[in-house]
A and B are shown apart, each in its own frame.
Chain A
Amino acid sequence: MRDVSIIGIGQTIVGEHWDKSLRELGYYALAAALKDAKLARVDALYVGNAHSGALSDQENVGAMIADFAGLRGVEALKIEAAGASAAAAMRLGYIAVAGGLCDFVACVGVEKMTDQQPSTQESALAMSADGDYEAMQGLTTVSLNALLMRRYMHEYGYTKADFAPFAVNAHANAINNPFAMYRMNISPKQFAEAKPLADPISMFDSSPVADGAACVILAPSALAREFTDRPVRVRASAVATDTVGLHDRRDLLSLDGAAWSAQKAFAAAGVNPNDIDLFELHDGFTIMSALSLEAAGFAARGKGVELALNGEIRLGGRIPITTMGGMKARGNPAGASGLYQIVEAVEQLRGEAGANQVANARLAMTQNIGGSGATVVTSILERI
C-alpha cells in the first residue's frame, strides 16, 4: 500500500446560495483545490453527495460535475452515505491512491439544500434513517437526535443548558472562518431560551441546512512535494457501520459505529486519543458531539458534556473541536460537510488557521457520521 497525502484544498462559503446550482458549487470547490495543488487534471473524481435526488431532482452527479468542470471523460462517481457522503468520497479516493490504481484523485463533497421547503428538507434528511420503521412513523432527524438527548439527560442527570458549550464554542470559532455561515457569537442565555424544534433540541443544538462544496486532492506522498510545500499525510482512513434505526442499537447511548471507526483509525495510525491535537467531530446536533467524544475515547461514558463544561473542547483546551465553527456555525451542507472537516483540519496542520490556529498542531482527527451513527468515517491527518 502506498502512503497518501493531501496536496490541495478548496471550499465555497457555506450558506444559502440561491444564485448557484449543485454543479456550480461542486466545480468552484474543485477548481479551488486544483489551483491550490497547481494541478490541471486528475485521474479520478469522487463526489460525495447525500440529497441531490430528493432536493435537486438530479442523480448521476459524478459525471455531471466532471463535465461541468471541464474534465469530460475522467473516471467520476457519486458516493452516497447520508451525512457521511463527503468523507466517504475521500475514503474511496484514499483506496484508489493507496492501492496504486490512481495517482491524483479529487474528492468533492457538494450539497444544495436551500431550494426546497422545510418539510421537503425534513423528508430528504429522514431518508438517512430507517424508512420503514422511523420515517414511516413521522420521525425526523431532529426528533431522532432529541430521543438520544432526552435519554442522555435522563441517565446522566444533565440539564439542557449543560449542552450550551458545544454551540457557544462553535459560534466563537466561526467568527474567524471566512467560509462560515454564521459568524457571530451566541450566549449561554440565548442557547437556554431558544424555542424547541423537538424538545429538548432547539435551533442552537441543531446545525443549519445549507449549500456548499469542499474538495481535497489526494496524491502519493512520494510525489506530494512536487506540488506543495505543506503536504498533509493521511495517517488513517477508516469506516465502520452500526444499525440505521436507533431502536435496533445494542445500547442507545453508545455510538458503536463511531467507536469501531475510531478504533480502526487509531490502530492504523498507531496512535491513541492523547496524541490527537484537534478533533473535527460530527456536531450535527450537540448530543452527537457528546456521544462522539465518548465513542472516540476522549471522554468516558456520560462525560462528553462534562468535558465541554470544563472548557476542554475550546481552542487551547485538552481536545479542541469544531475549530473553524463546525457544522453548527460553519453550516451543515449534509453530503459536503465531511470534506469541510478535512479541509479545516488541513488548514490547521498547514498553520493556516489564522486566529483559530491550534498551537503546534501535528495530528488532527476528523469524524463524519451518516444517519444517527450508522455510517462513520474517521480520518487521522498528519503534518509532515
Chain B
Amino acid sequence: MEVARFWRTNKQRYQLVGEECPHCKGKIFPPRDICPTCDKEAKVPYVFSGKGEVFSFSTLHQAPAGFERYAPYTVALVKLSEGPMVTAQLTDVDANDVKIGMPVEMVTRVLREDGERGMLVYGYKFRPA
C-alpha cells in the first residue's frame, strides 16, 4: 500500500512534470490543478527544463527518519527558469561552495530508504550547471 504513495508522484520526481495553465499560460510546479495566478483549472501537463538557480539553501545535520545515513546534506529552494520554485536537495557540490543565485540543473538520485525492507525512493536533486 505504501508503494502507491511514491508511484503516484513518479512523473513529478523523475521528470519534473508540472502543469501549464491553458488560460494564462503560467507554468505550475508542483502540479496543483488550480492555477495560483488566475484561479482557473489547469491540468495540461508541462515538462520543466530542470534548469534554475539557488534562491536559498541550508545544510542540515539532524535528519528525519529515513534520511539519517545521508546527513549532513544541503537543501535548497531552486527557482526554475520557467518561474516556479521547487524544494530539493543539492548534490555533487561542496556545501561551502553553494551561493544564492548559483545556476543548477536537475538530476535523478536516490532520495531515501523507506521502511523495514529498505525500498529506495528516487527523485530529483539539483547540481551546479
Contact = CB atoms under 8 A, between A and B. Distances in A.
B30 A245 contact: yes
Interface stretch (B19-27, B39-47, B84-92): B84-92
Interface in B23-79: 30, 32, 36, 55-68, 70, 73, 75-77
B18 to A, nearest CB: 11
B123 interface: yes
Interface string A135-168: 1111110110011101100100000000000000
B127 interface: no
Given A137-B75, A247-B86, A147 B56 contact: yes
A19 interface: no
Contact of B65 (A123, A199, A246): A123
A274 interface: no
B70 to A, nearest CB: 7
Contacts of A228: none
A82 B67 CA distance: 22
Interface in A181-222: 196-201
Most chain B beta-carbon neighbours within 10 Å: one of A119, A134, A245: A119
A252 interface: yes
Given A136-B123, A247-B85, A147 B75 contact: yes
Contact of A118 (B62, B86, B88): B62
Contacts of A123: 64-66
Interface size class of B (residues with CB under 8 A): 35 or more
A247 B54 CA distance: 12
Contacts, number: 116
A133 B100 CA distance: 21
A132 B85 CA distance: 15
A120 B65 CA distance: 6
Contacts of B60: 138-140, 142-143, 146, 197-198
A247 B63 contact: no
B58 A245 contact: no
Nearest to B112: A138
Contacts of B30: 130, 132-133, 245, 247-248
A380 interface: no
B9 interface: yes
Contacts of B32: 248
A122 interface: yes
B102 interface: no
Contact of B58 (A118, A130, A150, A154): A150
Main secondary structure of the interface of A (DSSP, over half): helix
A126 interface: yes
Nearest to A133: B30
A252 B64 contact: no
Given A118-B62, A142-B62, A143-B75, A137 B55 contact: no
A29 to B, nearest CB: 29
A142 B30 CA distance: 22
A131 B73 CA distance: 19
A247 B36 contact: no
Contact of B56 (A118, A133, A134, A151): A151
Most chain A beta-carbon neighbours within 10 Å: one of B9, B12, B61, B68: B61
Q: Give me the 10 closest cross-chain CB pairs, A-B, nearest first.
A: A146-B58, A198-B60, A247-B85, A151-B56, A122-B64, A123-B64, A143-B60, A147-B56, A123-B65, A138-B67
Interface of B: 9, 12-13, 30, 32, 36, 55-68, 70, 73, 75-77, 84-89, 100, 111-112, 121, 123
Given A122-B63, A136-B9, A249-B85, 20 more contacts: A118-B62, A122-B65, A123-B66, A132-B9, A137-B75, A139-B87, A140-B62, A143-B60, A146-B58, A147-B58, A150-B56, A151-B56, A197-B61, A201-B58, A245-B87, A246-B85, A247-B30, A248-B85, A252-B56, A252-B85
9 contacts: A122-B64, A136-B112, A136-B121, A138-B64, A139-B87, A148-B56, A196-B61, A247-B77, A250-B36
